[in-house]
C-alpha cells in the first residue's frame, strides 16, 4: 500500500559507457563549482564590515528617562508579569521628599533586575509598559564567562545623561 504519491520507480537498467567513466557527472560538478566562484560572497568580514540588522531586531534592554532626566519606571510590574521567561524582578519604593527631580511618580523601582540568561528577547516587556520606561535597543548582547555579568541591574540599564542630552538635541530616541 502506497502512503504518498511521491514514490518514484527506480531505474535498474545497466549504466552506459559515459555514466561508467563519470565524465558527465564530473563536468556537471565543475560547472556548479565555477558558477559559485563568480557569485557574490555570502560572508561578511566582521571587524571591518558590520552586518545591517533587521528593523525589528531586539537587543539589550534600556530603562528610559524623560526630558528632565527623571526615571519613567513607576514599578507597576506589568513588564515582569508579561515576561514569559520570568526574567524580570523588581521591588517598588515610595519617593521621599526632595527626590522629585529623580522620579516622575510617587512610586519608583528601587530594585530592577533582568536575568539575561533567562530572557528570550520577545519584547513583551516593552509592549506591556504603559510609561515607555523600557525598550529594547539595537545593541548586541556581549559575551562573558561569568553568570553574574548577565544579571543586569537598574544602573546598568538606565539611559545615561550623555545619551539623554544627545536624544534631546536630535529629537530621536
User: Is residue 158 marked as binding?
Assistant: no
Q: What residue ranges do the domains of the chain occupy?
A: 61-170
122 carries a ligand binding annotation:
yes
Residue 13 known to bind ligand? no
164 carries a ligand binding annotation: no
Residue 9 has what pLDDT? 83
pLDDT of 165: 67
Q: Is 140 part of any known ligand binding site?
A: no
State the Cα torsion 107-108-111-112 to the nearest 10°: 130
Cell 520606561 maps to which residue?
133
Q: If you count them, how many residues does the chain have?
A: 173
Report pLDDT digits (tens) over 59-107.
999 998 888 888 889 999 999 999 999 999 999 999 988 888 888 888 9
Calpha distance 167→173 (Å, rounded)? 6
Could you tell me which CATH class the domain 61-170 is placed in? alpha beta
The CA distance from 94 to 107, in Å, is 5
Is 120 annotated in some ligand binding site? no
Query: Which residues face 93 on adjacent strands?
Result: 108
| 133 labeled binding residue | no
Identify the H or E element spanning 29: helix 23-37
Amino acid at each position: 500500500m502506497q502512503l504518498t504519491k511521491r514514490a518514484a520507480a527506480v531505474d535498474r537498467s545497466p549504466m552506459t559507457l559515459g555514466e561508467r567513466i563519470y565524465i558527465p557527472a564530473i563536468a556537471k560538478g565543475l560547472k556548479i563549482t565555477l558558477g559559485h566562484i563568480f557569485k557574490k560572497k555570502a560572508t561578511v568580514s566582521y571587524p571591518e564590515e558590520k552586518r545591517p540588522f533587521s528593523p525589528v531586531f531586539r537587543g539589550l534592554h534600556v530603562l528610559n528617562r524623560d526630558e528632565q532626566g527623571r526615571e519613567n519606571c513607576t514599578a507597576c510590574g506589568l513588564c515582569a508579569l508579561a515576561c514569559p521567561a520570568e526574567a524580570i524582578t523588581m521591588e517598588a519604593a515610595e519617593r521621599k521628599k526632595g527626590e522629585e527631580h529623580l522620579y516622575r511618580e510617587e512610586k519608583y523601582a528601587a530594585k530592577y533586575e533582568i536575568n539575561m540568561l533567562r530572557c528570550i528577547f520577545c519584547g513583551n516587556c516593552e509592549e506591556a509598559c504603559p510609561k515607555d520606561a523600557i525598550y529594547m535597543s539595537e545593541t548586541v548582547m556581549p559575551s562573558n564567562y561569568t553568570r553574574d555579568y548577565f544579571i543586569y541591574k537598574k544602573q546598568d540599564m538606565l539611559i545615561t545623561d550623555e545619551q539623554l542630552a544627545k536624544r534631546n538635541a536630535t529629537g530621536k530616541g
